[in-house]
Structure 1
Amino acid sequence: MSREKSLKNKVILITGASSGLGEQIAYESSLKGAIVILAARRIEKLREVQKTCEKLSGKKAYVFHLDISDPEEIEEVLEKTSAEVGPIDVLVNNAGFGHFEDFRTVDMNIAEKMMRVNVLGLMYTSQFAAIQMAERGKGHIINICSMSGKIATPKSTIYSASKFAVLGFSNALRLDLKPLNVGVTTVNLGPVKTDFFDLADKNGDYLEKVGQLALDPKNVAHQVVSIMGTSKRELNLPKIMEFASRAYILFPKIGDFLAGTAFNKK
């Protein structure tokens, strides 16, 4: 896939855009002159993000209520965006949530919901977007994944499972769509300073424990937007965790030791 020279007037759909990383990606995309479509459940928060995006881009931004766990609503929203805004140039699958807990006490209703949101919801949006993009012979799907999809750690059994699934799905989807000039990139992140941990971390001190490993969402958003329209396979942040993920594959026993000690901050 060729590199886009500019995001000006490109249509970018961002799920989970009401706060955190999704919100920052929306702002960074708007700064580049893109037309952003903001999707999430919290419609009032989306309205606030919409106003800022319109100020930054000087263009209309669009808001859609989206429960990513509902396939019918996903299809409805994708059809509406195509009709009201136009075909999607870049899809950013950002919606998702985490939950850190010893597996023996995990409520399996949470596990089922996480798989519906983190995995199946992402698959549905990707499929609808891929169909449109393949027909046009261009497009880019960016799946916000996690280093938890490369390095499993204690108390992240369900979350890691969901992200391992997203990574495997994305790698296969990349091969499916490459002949059609549609790119697929995974963004594998360590901890990001967002409200994600309000739900994921019961103790409320995880970000403090990881210290300098925690990523600035504005910086991450900048890097994500910089790869839009490129053929980049994956973006891994922070770099030290990218190195650790490679060592985890090459030296699994050492990897398990580090995952259970140095990277076990939950």
Structure 2
Amino acid sequence: MSANTPLSEQVVLITGASAGIGAALAQVLAKKFPGIRLVLAARNRAKLDTTATYCSKAGAEVLVVPTDMSSIEQVDALARAAILRFGRVDALVNNAGYGQMGPLELIPSASARRQFEVNLLGPLALSRALIPGMRDRGGGRIINISSLGGRLAFPFGGIYSSSKFALEGLSDALRMELEPFNIKVSVIEPGPVTTDFFDVVAQGVEETVPDPEQTPYRAAFKKLEGLQEQTSSRAWTSERVAEVIVRSLTDPRPRPRYIAATGGEFLLFIMTKVLPTWAVDRFWQRFYGIDLVAREWQEQMKNKN
């Protein structure tokens, strides 16, 4: 791919394109770059078709490929379908992902495994399948959607953050390895976003911890229920995050990381460069209700003695 090839002439593959950031990105690209070819992947065929219809009416040529990113076989089939239809993929946006929340000791191994399959191994497999073609054509772009949680770990988010930390490490290595072939790799780090992320979180908690009230973490589980309301004032729309991704696709010299969060750079600076670790720990413990867990546990121990 020539460095001067306009985005309207490129083939862009977006995973997790049925809703949220992925759907918003597809729609923004279709509106801004008529003629663009989009490969849209997600598990929900009906929602994918809705996104595809919008994009087609806006002037994009669209291929829909229902895909479960936890299945390497389906991921490989997605890459083959894209190349069969369009002959190439110029840009890959690894957007599919979700957050498995809960205390680490209570998350079943199967749930932890799926978190890494969707958030890390799927994007790795898809990148691996498309890199040779990008190299042969003289370049390409890989955009991995991470999170501020890929730079900062917090209580109840250990599995999610671990998967995003890993995705960021993978992205850094790929960026250095692929530079000789003009394949640019960038990471997008959103903060709170007005998507169905928290609905998925709630469903995941319900499936993995059926009765939170019977655990030592019940106070924190209760506080988790109000987390969306706590962060709503700072949440970005999916469309606003999509605009940042478009910038990463069009910048002549894309940055390694793009922060898509109000005050995100300041937060990272304070949390990683200024405050001591104990102070950061206390902040997140209060934010996620671990201080309430401590108080309740101490009271139980006092009554027991």
TM-score range, shorter chain: over 0.9
Q: What is the distance in 1 between the residues matched to 2:136 and 2:281?
A: 44
* Structure 1 position 205 matched with structure 2 position 226: yes
Q: What is the distance in 2 between the residues matched to 1:187 and 1:265?
A: 28
Q: Identify if the C-alpha distance between structure 1 residues 261 and 72 changes in structure 2 by more than 3 Å, giving closer, same or farther.
A: same
User: Residue by residue, what CA displacement relative to the aligned partner does 1:180-220 show, whole Å, maximum 9, x if unpaired?
Assistant: 10000000111111112111135543221113221111111
Q: Tell me how far 1:233 sits from its aligned partner.
A: 1.3
Q: What is the distance in 2 between the residues matched to 1:172 and 1:68?
A: 21
Q: Identify if the C-alpha distance between structure 1 residues 146 and 2 changes in structure 2 by more than 3 Å, giving closer, same or farther.
A: farther
Gaps of 5+ in 2: 206-223, 291-305
* Structure 1 position 26 matched with structure 2 position 30: no
Q: What is the distance in 1 between the residues matched to 2:60 and 2:30?
A: 8
- Aligned residues of 1:92 and 1:143 also touching (Cα < 8 A): yes
- Aligned residues of 1:2 and 1:229 also touching (Cα < 8 A): no
Higher relative CO (Cα under 8 Å, sequence separation at least 6) belongs to 1
- Opposite residue 144 of structure 2, the aligned amino acid is N
Q: Tell me how far 1:83 sits from its aligned partner.
A: 1.4
TM-score by length of 2: 0.81
Residue 54 of structure 1: aligned partner: 56
Q: What is the distance in 1 between the residues matched to 2:242 and 2:260?
A: 11
TM-score by length of 1: 0.93
User: Residue by residue, what CA displacement relative to the aligned partner does 1:131-178 show, whole Å, maximum 9, x if unpaired?
Assistant: 211111210000000111111111001001000000111011100011
- Aligned residues of 1:206 and 1:265 also touching (Cα < 8 A): no
- Opposite residue 285 of structure 2, the aligned amino acid is G
- Structure number with bigger Rg: 2
Q: Tell me how far 1:265 sits from its aligned partner.
A: 7.4
Residue 245 of structure 1: aligned partner: 268
Q: Identify if the C-alpha distance between structure 1 residues 4 and 224 changes in structure 2 by more than 3 Å, giving closer, same or farther.
A: farther
* Structure 1 position 236 matched with structure 2 position 259: yes
Gaps of 5+ in 1: none
Query: Which range is displaced more, 10-19 or 65-74?
Result: 65-74
State how 1:173-192 maps to structure 2 within 5 Å. 173-192=174-193
- Aligned residues of 2:2 and 2:138 also touching (Cα < 8 A): no
* Structure 1 position 89 matched with structure 2 position 95: no
- Opposite residue 48 of structure 2, the aligned amino acid is L
Instruction: Classify the secondary structure of the residue corresponding to 1:227.
Output: helix
- Aligned residues of 1:90 and 1:229 also touching (Cα < 8 A): no
Q: What is the distance in 1 between the residues matched to 2:47 and 2:262?
A: 32
Instruction: Classify the secondary structure of the residue corresponding to 2:7.
Output: coil
- Opposite residue 166 of structure 1, the aligned amino acid is L
- Aligned residues of 1:248 and 1:256 also touching (Cα < 8 A): no
| Alpha-carbon RMSD | 2.0
Residue 280 of structure 2: aligned partner: 255
Q: Tell me how far 1:5 sits from its aligned partner.
A: 6.7
Q: Identify if the C-alpha distance between structure 1 residues 180 and 229 changes in structure 2 by more than 3 Å, giving closer, same or farther.
A: farther
State how 1:60-99 maps to structure 2 within 5 Å. 60-99=61-100
Instruction: Classify the secondary structure of the residue corresponding to 2:78.
Output: helix
- Opposite residue 240 of structure 2, the aligned amino acid is N
Residue 143 of structure 1: aligned partner: 144
